Amino acid sequence: MFRATLIVLSLACATMATAETRVPQTQSEISLGFAPVVKQAAPAVVNIYAKIVRKGGANPFFSDPFFQEFFGRDFGAPRPRVQNSLGSGVILTEDGFVVSNYHVVGSATEIRVVTTDRREFSAKVVLGDEESDIAILRLEQADSLPYLIMRDSDHVEVGELALAIGNPFGVGQTVSSGIISGLARTGTATGNARGYFIQTDAAINPGNSGGALIDVNGKLIGINTSILTRSGGSNGIGFAIPANLVAEFLKQARAGNSNFVSPWAGMAGQHMSADIAESLGITIPQGVVISDLHILSPLADAGLRVGDVVSHVDGDEVNSPAEMKFRMSVSGVGGTSILTRLRDGVSGEVEVDLIEAPDKPAAEEISLDDKTVLPGLKVARVNPVMITSLGLALSQTGVVVVDPGPYGGRAGLRVGDVLNAINGAEMERPGDVVSALTDPGRRLNMSIQRGGRSLSLRFRL
């Protein structure tokens, strides 16, 4: 009897072990569903409540001396508004590192994290990046927490079963199932010009942001971040940030970084269309065509040039600049990547150093004082750091507005405006702006460049 029991237990254990990697074979296996996986993974998915203080709009009569005379100088002054943001997060380590979306917690003044067993923790953002929409939080006084193991997201395949776990609409932790619908989603396919995502049809709704997308073994595939929708609810097209990029964020957070550092390519590129492929004599339209290179680009240093086609990065196929950036980002600054290049019909491999955007020439950032007509205006010299942070053209030079300040903003200046000339004098360095705005006379004429357009701002002083 005892021996028979052991045989039954052995067969049951063998069935459970193989059930992870095959289609359910019996009614009992089918009825079991995803319950064991959810039971294992759900405790590592948390609810996040963030308080965000936003500046209120000013009353149109705020600066009117007439109303200030009767109602006081604070009449109509802009008042801050408090907004509450709801989202989800995933515990990555037992000592309290949690990942969520930047749009959930990035500008929060107070963050509260609630686990499935109703414990509450205060948290703060230790590393965040708005462009990648990832934020790493650290829970205060937390240890021995349940956490999810991250899977190598490069090995995820279309058609795999997937579960999305989060807190949609604030109703409480919810699990939805689906499959991996697509990989390497970028650009217009996601409604976001930047980023690189895994697509799933597992239902994702508001509040799911920052939650977990897991496989049938309970491993983290990605972080749910957005949906394509017309109604505001899930239409079966959701996107998750791949776990490999999350792993690089966690690595930098644990190293003490407060800002995410990604490799700088110093390159502009475009998707290979059928027309471009035909003009280059390429049979299959795949890869990224290099359309511009900065003089300090590590790709240029490695021998690449405008017109080359990059088809693979470290052996993985790339078809957009966002894919190239993702592949280089997961490798991290300080290493190298092998780029497969196609030039004049000949394919070859090039080793590229992964570096930070160089601060050359020095930015020479200056904040103007009261001796100028636009005090508070902050300007800097254009270099790769400024090009990257402000989204400027690779070929851009000159002086850029980092912060317009109160008076510059009223004059019409915006962050990212390039100051070409002031009262006819060309601006090459920040010091030139200081000189031009110190006692400029009764009239001010500023020639600026904004998003590829040339504008002129004229006003009396």
In angstroms, the CA 204 to CA 239 distance is 9
Residue spans of alpha helices (H) in 403-458: 405-411, 430-436
**CA neighbor of 200 nearest in space, from 168, 232, 230, 240:** 240
In angstroms, the CA 23 to CA 226 distance is 30
* Catalytic member of 209, 297, 331, 337: 209
Token match 């990035």: residue?
106
* Catalytic member of 95, 103, 177, 314: 103
In angstroms, the CA 313 to CA 296 distance is 20
- Write the CB contacts of 221 (distance below 8 Å, at least 6 apart in sequence): 151, 153, 156, 162, 180, 198, 213, 214, 215, 240, 242, 243
In angstroms, the CA 305 to CA 174 distance is 50
In angstroms, the CA 450 to CA 364 distance is 21
Which uninterrupted H or E stretch holds 3? helix 2-19
* Catalytic member of 129, 133, 215, 432: 133
In angstroms, the CA 333 to CA 93 distance is 23
DSSP character at residue 441: -
For this structure, is 133 an active site residue? yes
The terminus-to-terminus CA distance of the chain in angstroms comes to 101
For this structure, is 103 an active site residue? yes
In angstroms, the CA 321 to CA 319 distance is 7
Which residue type sits at 207? G
In angstroms, the CA 181 to CA 244 distance is 18
SS3 content of the chain, % helix, strand, coil (to 5): 25, 35, 45
- 145, 123 Cβ separation under 8 angstroms: no
Number of H helices, E strands in the chain: 12, 25
Which residue type sits at 438? T
Residue numbers annotated as active site: 103, 133, 209
